[in-house]
Amino acid sequence: VTADLVILTIRDSVLTVLVIKRGNAPFRGAYALPGGFLRGDESLERTAARELAEETGLDAATLHLEQIGAYSAPDRDPRTPRVVTVAYLAIAPRVGAIAAGTDARSVEWMPVAKALSPEVALAFDHADILADAVERARAKLEHTTIATAFCAELFTIAELRAVYEAVWGHELDRPNFHRKVTLAEGFVVATDQKRQSRSGRPATLYRAGPATRLSPSMQRPRTDPRTRAPGSS
């Protein structure tokens, strides 16, 4: 049993995932998600947290870490005996360049769109895992306050909006977003500090509020179903 990690962050307004280049067979030379084997009597959560620290130097205690699910297709790993893996989603705040490459392995931040493209072709079933994790993150932005986990301790509403736009891949109305976020109870709390960008009015800095569930929830703009699948009946 292994634990694999989908570590997401926002870099240059793009949803990005941490991948490693495999040094060993199978899939030597291919990109893959970081992960490792369950040890002795630790839980899978602890395995995931340990791998997270090893790959990025981030402390799992301060991060959002959540299980995605178990993957067990018999052909997912050519090794024998077969390996069942449990995937975890970690959300890293956009703190400068995270130590990508703490240990000897080649570690790299890659835009999610690129990692899912056929040219990259992640090892094992890691493309499925990544897609599931991203979909989970998208869904959780609607109903929970985890979007703040992508931000530093202090952030502006524009930065928070950039998180939503990067994860959902969709532009949001700036004025309405501002209102919803600031009026949602316990989502963000204003500080008395401001941050000046190159030009324009300085933005108020906020920190994450105590709420975990969002109500009313954010509305993900729906990719109009009528334009995708003509109703079959």
Which residues from 172-191 bind a copy of itself, rule CB under 8 A? 185-186
Q: Is 9 exposed, middle or buried (0-12, 13-18, 19+ CB in 10 A)?
A: buried
- Would you state the structure tokens that stand for residue 80, as one six-digit string? 């024998």
Interacting span for DNA (CB under 7 A) from 38-46, 50-58, 82-90, 217-225: 217-225
Output phi, psi for 35, to 5 deg.
Answer: 180, 175
Residue 131 as a binder of a copy of itself (CB under 8 A): the answer is no
Q: Which is nearer to a copy of itself, 62 or 233 (CB)?
A: 233
Residue 192 as a binder of a copy of itself (CB under 8 A): the answer is no
Sorted by sequence, the CB contacts under 8 Å of residue 18 that are 6+ apart come out as: 5, 7, 9, 33, 34, 55, 56, 92, 100, 107, 108, 109, 110
Alpha-carbon Rg of the chain, whole angstroms? 19
Question: Three-class SS string for 41-106?
Answer: CCCHHHHHHHHHHHHHCCCHHHCEEEEEEEECCCCCCCCCCCCCEEEEEEECCCCCCCCCCCCCCC
Shortest distance, position 186 Cβ to DNA, whole Å: 14
Which residues from 62-91 bind a copy of itself, rule CB under 8 A? 67, 69-70, 72-74, 82, 84, 86
Shortest distance, position 16 Cβ to a copy of itself, whole Å: 25
Residue 43 as a binder of DNA (CB under 7 A): the answer is no
Q: Which is nearer to DNA, 23 or 202 (CB)?
A: 202
Shortest distance, position 72 Cβ to a copy of itself, whole Å: 4
Answer with the entry of a copy of itself, DNA, none that 210 interacts with (C-beta below 5 to 8 A by kind). a copy of itself
Residue 224 as a binder of a copy of itself (CB under 8 A): the answer is no
Which residues from 138-167 bind DNA, rule CB under 7 A? 156-158
Shortest distance, position 189 Cβ to DNA, whole Å: 13
Q: At what angle do helices 157-168 and 126-143 cross, to 10 degrees?
A: 140
Contact residues: DNA, CB under 7 A: 156-158, 173-176, 178-180, 182, 194, 196-204, 216-217, 219, 221
